[in-house]
Amino acid sequence: MKHLLGIEGLSRDEFYLLLDNSREMVEISRRDIKKVPALRGKTVINMFFEASTRTRSSFEIAGKRLSADVVNVSATGSSVTKGETLLDTARTLSAMAPDVLVVRHSASGAPAFLARYLPDTAVVNAGDGLHEHPTQALLDCLTLSEHFSARSQGIEGLRLAIVGDVLHSRVARSNIWAHLLLGNEVRLVGPPTFLPPELKEAFGADSSQCRGRLEVYYDLKSGIAGADVVMCLRLQLERQSQHFVPSLEEYSREYGVSEKLLARYAPNCVVLHPGPVNRGIEVSSEVLDGPRSLVSKQVSNGVAVRMAVLFLLATGKDTGETTIA
Ligand code: NCD
């Protein structure tokens, strides 16, 4: 694996390799001294051209826990504000010979574009427009694999309901690819404006090669019925050029995930949310702060997953082949 640009196209073996390597990194993150020399002498540049709290800080912490030199560049404060193009900025940074370039950008395809033009640098997609956010899907699956560790099938054979603004969500897209790869039942739940018919077709879920199932539900109760996992999505208001919902109050009434609904329709489910959360709009505080919520585990696992990805791309080795100490 030279780059990590998306979950689409990964094989099951590659996906499980990343999860297995992440588990080893979880162990390091639980130690008293959370630092190993594995990436000493390697350089990671985090190029974040869109707002981020969790992803950016966890890539930075991940690099530092592995002893890499980590440099952060954001759009504000970089030469982008002076009119430099994305490619020129990336070429400039690449000339400083980083081993890994982590990119977040509002344009779908920006990391893939850079990967094409920067042959000597490994590129990681940290979220590009409406396209993908592969490390988020990996950390979601790592969190689920810890929760469902007693199940003989692990995280396969699950029913996952993804609720909300699927249209504008790169988190949803990466998770759909991941769960179809695992052979799971994926339900997309939301108003029709967030679930256009092309969306379902884009994942090839009706083809004979697809191992999982993808269904669309416009009604929240039937969409979450019997779900093992309910993934709530933030309304991506910054990406919406028109009114997709009549009002936030009305959206919340129809599609807000509450404990009362979960207790009735998906009593055994756990709840994921990638953050940041619009509390009380897509999900209630009772659910978010309650026992079903795996949200803070998702955040901790984000560091481990990013350590695994940086390690794999910077060294070309997986943790099974080498000791990370
Ligand atoms: C997500 C993102 O940026 O795509 N956040 C994240 O990385 N944890 C989801 C969001 O912004 O709603």
Predicted confidence band of residue 125 (pLDDT cuts 50, 70, 90) = very high
pLDDT at 84: 87
- Domains of the chain, earliest start first: 12-132+299-315 (3.40.50.1370), 134-297 (3.40.50.1370)
Rounded mean pLDDT, 106-114: 96
CA–centroid distance, residue 320 to ligand 1 (Å):
31
Q: Which residues of 136-173 are buried (b: 16+ CB within 10 A; e: fewer)?
A: bbbbbbbbbbebbeeeeebbbebbbbbbbbbbbbbbbb
Q: Provide residues with CB under 6 Å of ligand 1.
A: 54-55, 127, 133, 136, 170-171, 234, 236, 274-275
Task: Give the H or E element holding residue 270.
Answer: strand 270-272
Strands ordered across the beta sheet of 43-48: 69-74, 43-48, 100-105, 122-128
Strands ordered across the beta sheet of 229-232: 213-217, 185-189, 159-163, 229-232, 270-272
CA–centroid distance, residue 274 to ligand 1 (Å):
6
Amino acid letter at 12? R
Rounded mean pLDDT, 50-55: 92
Predicted confidence band of residue 144 (pLDDT cuts 50, 70, 90) = very high
> Quick one: which of 167, 146, 163 has its CA closest to 155?
146
β partners of residue 101: 45, 123
Which atom of ligand 1 has the smallest separation from the CA of 55? 7
CA–centroid distance, residue 166 to ligand 1 (Å):
12
Selected residue with higher pLDDT from 199 and 315: 315
pLDDT at 319: 77
Where are the extended beta strands (E) located within 2-158? 43-48, 69-74, 100-105, 122-128
Whole-angstrom distance, CA of residue 298 vs CA of residue 25: 14
In 10 A of CB 87, how many CB atoms? Answer: 15
User: pTM here?
Assistant: 0.96
For 187-197, the pLDDT digits (tens) are 999 999 999 88
